[in-house]
């Protein structure tokens, strides 16, 4: 009789445990898809707008920088730039500037009152050159900052390149002080000083060649990682998933308890 009792109790325990595990498994096997791990990349964006006083009101652009460690994938679209210079496509040197205010230079930046904000006058706002955004396979160090042979050119720029950033640039981006600056003014619409004065950076070129045309601070995108929780629906159909699982587990325990009670009654009857 003891042997029979043990077998019945064992079978009941297995059935009860299996029922409970099945119900638990149902709750565990369907986690929200939004709980996926983040890739570790952070996206930064910049809206490129004309620098004041330069007469380049038709130019505009956007830039996206996806930063993973020190690797940056950069995508940029610019339209309305100066198209030609001395009969050739106008080279527009461009950079990530930083370690300053991380801001857009306003009209007060024109300290010599010549009607043009030069690169040096804009420096207190957007800082020094940290990384040069040259075309492949051009160098990206500050030393290549004024190399027009490596610069994107023409009135429209579609730029896409993955580069490795140095620690100074990465720190400036993460600190919110990095600014994208695209240089080169349209002589026909720029103030007179843009063509009559020489560039302080490259004296062999007019001021228009290196003066900042477009500028935009880099800011972290609001969607920088995969969401980690299900969307709040205000009591819609997904709001009670956890409760359904708990009800299922509770039901399994009730069924198991009823089965065990029945076995005990049967044993008492046999005695």
On whether both 183 and 151 belong to a single domain, the answer is: yes
Tell me, what CATH number does 82's domain have? 2.60.40
Residue 65 domain-assigned (yes or no): yes
In a domain, 235, yes or no: no
Is residue 86 assigned to a domain?
yes
Q: Are 165 and 250 in the same domain?
A: no
Query: What is the average per-residue pLDDT within 44-68?
Result: 93
Same structural domain, 110 and 214:
yes
Instruction: Report strand pairing: 219-220 vs 42-50.
Output: antiparallel
| Residue 231 within any structural domain of the chain | no
- pLDDT, average across residues 70-78: 98
pLDDT tens, 170-215?
999 999 999 999 999 988 888 999 999 999 999 999 999 999 999 9
Question: Is 254 found in the same domain as 188?
Answer: no
Share of the chain above pLDDT 90, in %: 56
User: Does position 245 have pLDDT exceeding 90, yes or no?
Assistant: no
Give the mean pLDDT of 151-169. Answer: 96
Annotate 62-104 with DSSP letters as a single string: EEEEEEETTEEEEEEEEES---EETTEEPB--EEEEESS----
Averaged confidence pLDDT in the chain: 76
Tell me the residue range of the domain where 176 lies.
Answer: 42-220
Q: Is residue 177 part of a domain?
A: yes
- If asked whether residues 102 and 165 sit together in one domain, one would say yes
Residues 129 and 245 in one domain: no
Query: Within this chain, do residues 113 and 206 fall inside the same structural domain, yes or no?
Result: yes
The reply to whether 153 and 271 lie within a common domain is no
Q: How much is the pLDDT for 87?
A: 83
DSSP states of 184-240: ---TTTS-THHHHSBPSS-TTSBHHHHSEEEEEE-EE-S--S---SPPP-SSSTTTT
Check whether residue 183 and residue 80 sit in a common domain: yes
Residue 228 forms part of a structural domain: no
Per the structure, how many domains does the chain have?
2
Q: What's the whole-model pTM score?
A: 0.68
DSSP secondary structure letter of residue 45: E
More confident residue, 63 or 261: 63
- Same-domain status, 209 and 248: no
Task: Give percent of the chain above pLDDT 70.
Answer: 67
Q: Are residues 146 and 208 in the same domain?
A: yes
- The verdict on 263 and 199 lying in the same domain is no
Helix (H, G, I), strand (E, B) or coil at 41: coil
Contact 260, 12 (CB under 8 A): yes
Burial class (CB in 10 A: 0-12, 13-18, 19+), 1: exposed
234 assigned to some structural domain: no
CA atoms within 13 A on the CB side of 19: 17
> What average pLDDT score do residues 9-27 get?
40
In tens, the pLDDT along 102-123 reads 998 988 999 999 999 999 999 9
The whole-number pLDDT of residue 223 equals 57
Q: Kindly report, residue by residue over 213-224, the tens digit of the pLDDT.
A: 999 999 998 654
Residue 210 located in a structural domain: yes
């Amino acid at each position: 009789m003891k042997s029979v009792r043990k077998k019945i109790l064992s079978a009941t325990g297995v059935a009860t445990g299996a029922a409970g595990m099945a119900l638990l498994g149902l709750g565990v096997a369907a986690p929200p898809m939004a709980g996926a791990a983040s890739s570790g990349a952070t996206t930064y964006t910049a809206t490129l707008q004309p620098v004041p006083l330069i007469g380049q009101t038709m130019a505009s652009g956007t830039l996206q920088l996806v930063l993973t460690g020190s690797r940056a994938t950069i995508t940029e679209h610019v339209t309305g730039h100066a198209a030609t210079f001395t009969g050739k496509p106008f080279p527009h040197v461009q950079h990530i500037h930083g370690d300053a205010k991380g801001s857009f230079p306003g009209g007060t930046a024109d300290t010599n009152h010549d009607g043009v904000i030069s690169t040096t006058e804009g420096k207190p706002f957007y800082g020094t050159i940290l990384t040069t955004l040259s075309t492949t396979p051009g160098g990206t160090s500050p030393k290549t900052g004024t190399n027009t042979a490596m610069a994107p050119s023409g009135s429209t720029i579609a730029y896409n390149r993955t580069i490795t950033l140095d620690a100074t640039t990465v720190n400036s981006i993460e600190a919110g002080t990095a600014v994208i600056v695209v240089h080169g003014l349209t002589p026909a619409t720029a103030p007179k000083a843009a063509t009559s004065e020489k560039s302080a950076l490259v004296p062999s070129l007019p001021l228009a060649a290196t003066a900042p045309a477009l500028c935009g601070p880099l800011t972290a995108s609001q969607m920088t990682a995969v969401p980690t929780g299900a969307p709040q629906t205000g009591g819609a159909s997904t709001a009670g998933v956890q409760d359904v699982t708990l009800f299922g587990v509770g039901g399994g325990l009730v069924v198991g308890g009823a089965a065990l009670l029945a076995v005990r009654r049967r044993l008492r009857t046999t005695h």
